[in-house]
Amino acid sequence: MASEAVNLTFKSRDFVHLHLHTDYSLLQSAIQLKPLARKLAEHDMQACAITDYGNMYGAVSFYNTLKYAGFRPILGYEAFIACGSRLEHSPNFPAGELPFYHLVLLAENFEGYKNLVHLASKAFTEGLYHRPRIDLELLAANSKGLIGLSAGSRGAISHFIKNGNVERAISEAGRFEDIFGKGRFYLEVQDHKSEDTELVAKIADLAGRCDLPLVAANDCHYLER
């Protein structure tokens, strides 16, 4: 039997990957589950999330693999949020918008996991248009037990910050906080390339203005640099 992960003790400076894609992010990531578990052990990490693009195909295998290896698995999903209704299957969208935005969803408990499964299913059966999409209406109706991350540079908030529309970024942040609840929506910062430095500073400033928490993530697609 694997050692149980429920009684793990985290130190104040421990880092946990909360934005990570496995090879179930088809044609996107090369991270396989068993090598991932070995890499977590190599770096003395105690927990890790799975946030594959638009699907939860790997959730059960990920959970079992990490649990058996003694880690705390965190089940998640990187959703595609339609800029309008998920029911609209049209190439037209308003000026200044993208057809969809990224949003990382993490399950806090079993209710959150069931909501993730429901959202992922509806994204395919109702929202599929180039991507399996959900919308804010569906998310708001199925947000219990979920924690939201703004998903870095491809999220709605970063998009409007980069376009100089700070007021719209603030509005979007408020909408997500209303959906998830106070303290349950995080502004995500990533430091992958030189141009991210300015965006990180602007997101941090927005977090202060909106009284929102920050989270550092790495948007992993590979085990090695």
Predicted confidence pLDDT, tens digits, the chain (225 residues): 333 445 666 776 789 999 999 999 999 999 999 999 999 999 999 999 999 999 999 999 999 999 999 999 999 999 999 999 999 998 888 888 999 999 999 999 999 999 999 999 999 999 999 999 999 999 999 999 999 999 988 899 999 999 999 999 999 999 999 999 999 999 999 987 766 789 999 999 999 999 999 999 999 999 998
Strand duo 146-149 + 133-134: pairing: unpaired
Assign 103 to helix, strand or coil.
Answer: strand
The per-residue pLDDT for range 47-77, each reduced to its tens digit, is 999 999 999 999 999 999 999 999 999 999 9
Q: What sign does the CA torsion over 139, 76, 192, 100 have?
A: negative
Task: Return all residues near 216 (Cβ < 8 A) that are at least 6 apart.
Answer: 15, 188, 189, 190, 191
Of 15, 142, 157, the residue nearest 77 (C-alpha): 142
Assign 171 to helix, strand or coil.
Answer: helix
CA distance 118 to 122: 6
pTM to 2 decimal places = 0.92
Residue type, 123: A
Counting every residue written for the chain, the total comes to: 225
Q: Where are the beta strands (DSSP E) in the chain?
A: 47-50, 72-82, 100-107, 133-134, 146-149, 185-189, 214-216
CB 24 within 8 Å of CB 57: yes
CA distance 210 to 50: 28
Helix ranges (H only) for 17-131 are: 33-42, 59-68, 110-125
Place of tokens 């594959």: 52
